[in-house]
């Protein structure tokens, strides 16, 4: 007992000691990724790779076993392939650049989440969404959850799930308990579906990161309007199924809160892509990396605004104190995600050249596989892997990368991106291995499997069925 406590104390002491240098390593890798976006020298790959390796070494005690294996196998595999002349040094350098960019993605959005976490605006918006009349509550919860998730990612589920629990007290018996259970189920389902719509278009989603990295001929600016259409249809379809499943109540059971509080939040969400668009026009840089550069700047300004009641110099000191105390913890707590993202990005670059494009093309020709079947198969593989617990980051990176190697493939990048995004949105609300479903299940009182298959099953199946039918009609 005493020995165990001593070990835990040493681990905590090491974690506190390693937090600051590990944060510096992440910032170095991020700076190298940004510099490379602006055409920086190729030698920046060396400090980026060194920083990532040192970060992993410093955070080793907190990295789970699965990701430790990733962090060892990835550089070992690259070394073996290089020594056997399967890949060259330039391919490894490209892989490091991709890994650094994926790290930049995580670091950038961590600042935004840290800023939103302490915002009273977020809490007030959450209260306004929960306390709405039944006739429009589902729709507002879905769209509100979607907006929250763009900024907070999985944290949005915590904010809204907690507020749903507070708003719905399952007490009494008979009809009162039954109605309260239905209300809670509908609100949590709406929250989950709103969150699941984020991969369809949002620049803060890992789906867009993987899709745009694997399809360099497609930009977020080109895809976003189409993705927004999918998002609206996705949420409206869920609202229609909810409307058909539950009759309208005769009386309004909750007070109607003023929704004007949502306006500043909507403006804030729209500010990031708007600012990134204009800056991308000025700099000539693609809009997606520019989005990632704008996000932390807006995040810090948001923190500055939260201290608006203090005088100028006190606000400045409070902001710097917040950055000094909170940011290192916010960055390093993502240690497993950093390993997963960096490893997946790196592997996606070094493994794809091993695919023989002629073999792949001949296989498709002899099998007489249509383009629609290829995309449906890709979607089904993603779904099956998600239910087997295989991380979608790895699956999508390898599948999309392999498709790009097939010569003469005439499937439009927009179609590939749409299929991946829609499938991701579906399994995010279906697979019990996804963090979103496990998170919502904690508020629902049912298992993640039951929530995904029973509560949300018909919605998921219908979305996939519609997408597959459209693919076979269009392609």
Spatial distance between the Cα atoms of 354 and 376, rounded to a whole number of angstroms: 24
CA distance 244 to 439: 26
pTM of the predicted structure, to 2 decimals: 0.90
Q: What Å distances lie between residue 318 and 20, 162, 303, CA to CA?
A: 19, 28, 9
309 domain residue, yes or no: no
Distance CA 228, CA 231 (A): 5
Least confident among 131-135, 283-287, 298-302, 403-407? 131-135
pLDDT tens-digit readout, 429-462: 999 999 888 888 888 888 999 999 999 999 999 9
- Which among 144, 223, 151 is positioned nearest to 420, based on CA atoms? 223
Averaged pLDDT for residues 49-53: 97
Looking at the structure of the chain, the number of domains it has is: 1
Half-sphere exposure of 78 (CA within 13 A, CB side): 23
Q: Is 72 among the domain residues?
A: yes
Residue 301 lies in a domain: no
In this predicted structure, the answer to whether residue 135 has a pLDDT above a threshold of 80 is no
Alpha-carbon distance of 250 to 259, in angstroms, equals 23
The per-residue pLDDT for 161 is 86
Whether residue 105 lies inside any domain: the answer is: yes
Mean pLDDT of the chain: 89
In a domain, 103, yes or no: yes
Measured between alpha carbons, how far is 415 from 284 in angstroms, rounded to an integer? 26
Q: Has residue 390 been placed in a domain?
A: no
Whether residue 17 is contained in a domain is answered as yes
73 — pLDDT class (breaks 50, 70, 90): very high
The more confident residue out of 94 and 365 is 94
Q: Which of 203, 255, 268, 271 is nearest to 421 (CA)?
A: 203
Contact 252, 134 (CB under 8 A): yes
For 279-305, b/e burial (b = at least 16 CB within 10 A) is: ebeeeebbbbbbbbbbbbebbbebbee
Length of the chain: 475
Q: Which domain holds residue 80?
A: 2-114
């Amino acid at each position: 007992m005493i020995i165990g406590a001593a070990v835990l104390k040493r681990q905590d002491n090491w974690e506190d000691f390693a937090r600051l240098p590990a944060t510096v390593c992440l910032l170095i890798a991020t700076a190298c990724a940004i510099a490379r976006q602006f055409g920086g020298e190729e030698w920046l790959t060396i400090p980026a790779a060194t920083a990532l390796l040192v970060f992993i070494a410093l955070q080793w005690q907190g990295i789970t076993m699965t990701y430790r294996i990733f962090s060892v196998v990835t550089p070992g595999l690259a070394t073996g392939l290089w020594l056997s002349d399967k890949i060259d040094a330039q391919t490894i350098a490209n892989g490091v650049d991709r890994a650094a960019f994926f790290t930049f993605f995580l670091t950038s959005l961590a600042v935004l989440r840290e800023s939103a976490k302490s915002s009273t605006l977020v809490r007030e918006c959450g209260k306004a969404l929960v306390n709405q009349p039944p006739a429009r509550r589902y729709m507002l919860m879905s769209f509100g959850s979607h907006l929250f998730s763009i900024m907070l990612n999985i944290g949005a589920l915590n904010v809204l799930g907690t507020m749903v629990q507070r708003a719905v007290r399952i007490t009494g018996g008979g009809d009162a308990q039954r109605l309260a259970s239905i209300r809670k189920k509908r609100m949590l389902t709406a929250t989950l579906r709103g969150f699941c719509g984020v991969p369809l278009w949002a620049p803060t989603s890992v789906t867009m990161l993987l899709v745009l990295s694997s399809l360099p001929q497609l930009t977020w600016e080109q895809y976003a309007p189409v993705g927004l259409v999918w998002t609206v249809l996705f949420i409206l379809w869920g609202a229609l199924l909810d409307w058909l499943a539950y009759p309208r109540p005769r009386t309004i059971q909750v007070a109607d809160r003023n929704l004007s509080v949502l306006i500043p939040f909507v403006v804030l969400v729209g500010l990031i892509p708007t600012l990134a668009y204009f800056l991308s026009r000025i700099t000539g840089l693609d809009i997606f990396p520019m989005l990632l550069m704008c996000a932390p700047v807006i995040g810090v300004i948001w923190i500055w605004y939260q201290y608006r009641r203090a005088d100028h110099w006190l606000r400045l000191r409070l902001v710097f104190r917040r950055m000094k105390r909170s940011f290192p913890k916010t960055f390093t707590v993502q240690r497993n995600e950093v390993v997963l993202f960096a490893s997946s990005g790196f592997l996606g670059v070094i493994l794809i050249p091993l695919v023989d494009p002629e073999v792949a093309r001949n296989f498709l020709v002899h099998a007489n596989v249509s383009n629609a079947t290829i995309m449906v198969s890709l979607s089904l593989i993603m779904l099956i892997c998600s239910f087997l617990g295989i991380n979608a980051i790895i699956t999508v990176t390898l599948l999309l990368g392999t498709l790009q190697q097939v010569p003469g493939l005439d499937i439009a990048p927009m179609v590939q991106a749409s299929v991946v995004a829609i499938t991701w949105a579906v399994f995010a609300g279906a697979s019990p291995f996804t963090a979103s479903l496990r998170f919502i299940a904690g508020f629902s009182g049912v298992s993640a499997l039951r929530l995904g298959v029973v509560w949300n099953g018909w919605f998921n199946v219908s979305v996939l069925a519609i997408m597959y039918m459209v693919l076979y009609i269009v392609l």
